[in-house]
């Protein structure tokens, strides 16, 4: 029986909590195995290096038991922080001390929301935006502003308009292979926007979750690496897409000034991130040829992307999308009909994708859908695209 009790007893901030349709769809696809899902954002399990995982885990249990099974440093396992500082970040001022390991980069978003956002804080988002960031920030009830995105980054006219008319405090951005649009900021926009943020004294929360998923192995310099105001620059990274989300490990590059505060807030969350995962990942980075591993992920996703692109061209030539340089998604415009209707009919016809409305900061209706290509095989993708094409034709005739 549903009661009013949760809303009577819960804190006010809970009324701002956003649910995730993606999680709901994932639940549906688990309950009903006939639904083919382009909705998730799951790395392909065939890319997990299972043999290396099992030998490294075994050696951690044998050789590192006293560290791996204990509480650890709230900022993270020192060896892993050093590896991240040396290999996986490009801001010049970084050292192991500026890295804090988090429970996935998602925890970093929550902690930064807690530190920087009040109900009168002006926060700028990309439109569309990563839904998990909206979920992390919404309970703090900031004033959200959003800048329209183009395939090469934010629309500069609108960005300058917003920044000149409002005192923006924080800009959250996902500049490489963005989730959901897969749009990637050009080098010119990275430099220009870094300068603009310096001039206007705006905190940048730069989400680099997909940094290493370029199909050709290119790595874009972070926007943060062009900033002079290091004290206003936070960079989030993640092992989820390059090793496995099961470890639940990410990191945040935290400027000196905020290091103690960040660690104290994290202690309130979880004391420290999963110590066993941290020791395992540190050993994995020492054991594996990481460049070869990244290359195998990049070329696999490139092939998957090409499959979905050619299937859409064959069965749904009327849909539109720009070709991504990397990542796991196509951001596809279905020009006719409403996305709600298309979504409902697709689910009934055994296929799922995520409607663009979910990624709109203002929940505006959208003719776009996010389609994931990392998970399904080409044959299964073909059945799924045919199902979508049937539904699309049905509701548009
Ligand atoms: C853009 C973006 N940022 C952050 C995350 C959180 O990832 P994790 O907590 O697994 O590091 C995701 C997950 O899909 C994402 O797409």
- pLDDT of 187-226, one tens digit each? 999 999 999 999 999 999 999 999 999 999 999 999 999 9
pLDDT at 95 over 60: yes
Nearest CA to ligand 1 atom 9: 104
Atom of ligand 1 nearest to the CA of 241: 10
Query: pLDDT at position 4, please?
Result: 66
State whether the beta carbon of 132 lies less than 6 angstroms from ligand 1. yes
Preceding amide of 87 cis, omega within 30: no
Phi, psi of 144, deg, nearest 5? -90, 135
H/E stretch holding 291 reads helix 290-315
CA proximity to 264, closest of 109, 114, 69, 136 = 114
pLDDT at 148 over 60: yes
State whether the beta carbon of 130 lies less than 6 angstroms from ligand 1. yes
**How many whole angstroms separate alpha carbon 22 and alpha carbon 42?**
11
Q: What percent helix, strand, coil does the chain show, rounded to 5?
A: 50, 15, 35
Domain 5-48+291-395 CATH class label: alpha beta
Atom of ligand 1 nearest to the CA of 178: 1
State whether the beta carbon of 23 lies less than 6 angstroms from ligand 1. no
Here the tokens at position 100 are: 């804090």
State whether the beta carbon of 177 lies less than 6 angstroms from ligand 1. no
Pair 329, 301: CB distance under 8 Å: no
Nearest CA to ligand 1 atom 16: 179
Atom of ligand 1 nearest to the CA of 239: 11
Distance of CA 250 to the CA centre of its chain: 11
Pair 36, 351: CB distance under 8 Å: yes
1-10 tens-digit pLDDT: 456 667 778 8
Atom of ligand 1 nearest to the CA of 248: 10
Here the tokens at position 136 are: 């992390």
Pair 351, 384: CB distance under 8 Å: yes
- How many degrees, rounded to 5, is the angle at CA 176 between CA 172 and CA 181? 80
Q: How many CB atoms lie within 10 A of CB 389?
A: 19
How does the average pLDDT of the chain come out, rounded?
A: 94
Residue range 134-161: mean pLDDT, rounded: 97
Per cent of the chain over pLDDT 90 is: 83
SS3 333: strand
**Partners of 125 in the β-ladder:** 146
**How many whole angstroms separate alpha carbon 369 and alpha carbon 43?**
19
DSSP per-residue letters across 149-207 = EETTEE-HHHHHHHHHHS---EEEE--SS-TTT-----HHHHHHHHHHHHHHT-EEEEE
CA proximity to 175, closest of 191, 163, 162 = 191
State whether the beta carbon of 179 lies less than 6 angstroms from ligand 1. yes
Categorize the per-residue pLDDT at 19 as very low, low, confident or very high, splitting at 50, 70 and 90. confident
Strand spans (E) along 201-280: 203-207, 233-238, 249-253
Residue with tokens 């700028």: 124
Where in the sequence of the chain do the CATH 3.40.640.10 domains occur? Answer: 66-287
Topology adopted by domain 66-287: 3.40.640
pLDDT at 118 over 70: yes
Cα 159 to middle of ligand 1, angstroms: 24
Which stretch of 150-154, 267-271, 318-322, 337-341 has the lowest confidence by average pLDDT? 337-341
CA proximity to 206, closest of 172, 183, 179 = 172
Here the tokens at position 35 are: 């639904």
pLDDT at 30 over 80: no
Query: pLDDT at position 3, please?
Result: 60
CA distances for 66 relative to 81, 272, 273, 276, 357, angstroms: 19, 16, 16, 10, 48
Please classify residue 265 by burial: count the beta carbons closer than 10 Å to its beta carbon, then call 0-12 exposed, 13-18 middle and 19+ buried: middle
**How many whole angstroms separate alpha carbon 166 and alpha carbon 123?**
10
**How many whole angstroms separate alpha carbon 28 and alpha carbon 287?**
38
Cα 393 to middle of ligand 1, angstroms: 34
State whether the beta carbon of 245 lies less than 6 angstroms from ligand 1. yes
Taking the CA atoms of 332, 334, 340 and 341 in sequence, report the sign of the dihedral they define: negative
Residue with tokens 């099961």: 246
Cα 105 to middle of ligand 1, angstroms: 6
Radius of gyration in angstroms for the set of CA atoms belonging to the chain, rounded to a whole number: 21
Which stretch of 14-18, 122-126, 257-261 has the lowest confidence by average pLDDT? 14-18
Atom of ligand 1 nearest to the CA of 250: 11
Where in the sequence of the chain do the CATH 3.90.1150.10 domains occur? Answer: 5-48+291-395
Atom of ligand 1 nearest to the CA of 108: 9
Pair 194, 224: CB distance under 8 Å: yes
State whether the beta carbon of 178 lies less than 6 angstroms from ligand 1. no
Residue range 165-186: mean pLDDT, rounded: 97
State whether the beta carbon of 40 lies less than 6 angstroms from ligand 1. no
Query: pLDDT at position 40, please?
Result: 86
Categorize the per-residue pLDDT at 21 as very low, low, confident or very high, splitting at 50, 70 and 90. confident
């Amino acid at each position: 029986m549903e009661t009013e009790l949760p809303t009577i007893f819960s804190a006010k901030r809970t009324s701002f909590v956003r649910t995730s349709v993606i999680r709901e769809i994932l639940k549906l696809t688990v309950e009903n195995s006939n639904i083919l899902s382009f909705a998730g954002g799951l790395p392909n399990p065939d890319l997990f290096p299972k043999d290396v995982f099992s030998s490294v885990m075994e050696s951690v249990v044998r050789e590192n038991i006293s560290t791996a099974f204990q509480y650890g440093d709230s900022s993270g396992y020192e060896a892993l922080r050093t590896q991240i500082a040396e290999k996986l970040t490009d801001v010049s001022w970084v050292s192991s001390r500026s890295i804090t390991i988090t429970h996935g980069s998602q925890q970093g978003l929550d902690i930064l929301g807690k530190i920087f956002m009040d109900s009168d804080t002006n926060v700028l988002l990309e439109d569309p935006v990563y839904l998990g960031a909206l979920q992390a920030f919404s309970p703090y009830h900031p004033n959200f502003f959003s800048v329209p995105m183009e395939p090469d980054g934010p629309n500069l006219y609108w960005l300058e308009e917003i920044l000149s008319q409002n005192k923006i405090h924080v800009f959250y951005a996902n500049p490489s292979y963005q989730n959901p649009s897969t749009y990637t900021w050009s080098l010119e926009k990275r430099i220009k926007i870094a300068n603009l943020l310096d001039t206007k004294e705006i905190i940048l929360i730069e989400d680099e979750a997909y940094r290493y998923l370029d199909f050709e192995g290119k790595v874009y310099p972070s926007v943060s690496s062009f900033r002079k105001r290091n004290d206003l620059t936070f960079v989030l990274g993640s092992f989820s897409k390059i090793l496995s989300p099961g470890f639940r490990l990410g990191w945040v590059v935290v400027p000196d000034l905020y290091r103690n505060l960040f660690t104290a807030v994290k202690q309130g969350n979880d004391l420290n991130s999963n110590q066993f995962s941290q020791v395992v990942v540190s050993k994995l980075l020492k054991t594996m040829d990481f460049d070869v591993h990244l290359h195998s992920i990049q070329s696999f996703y490139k092939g998957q992307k090409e499959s979905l692109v050619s299937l859409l061209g064959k069965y749904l030539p009327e849909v539109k999308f720009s070709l991504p340089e990397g990542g796991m998604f196509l951001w596809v415009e279905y020009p006719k009909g409403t996305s709600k209707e298309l979504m409902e009919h697709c689910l009934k016809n055994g296929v799922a994708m995520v409607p663009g409305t979910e990624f709109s900061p203002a929940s505006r209706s959208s003719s776009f859908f996010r389609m994931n290509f990392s998970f399904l095989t080409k044959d299964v993708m073909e059945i799924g695209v045919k199902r979508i094409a049937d539904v699309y034709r049905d509701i548009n005739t």
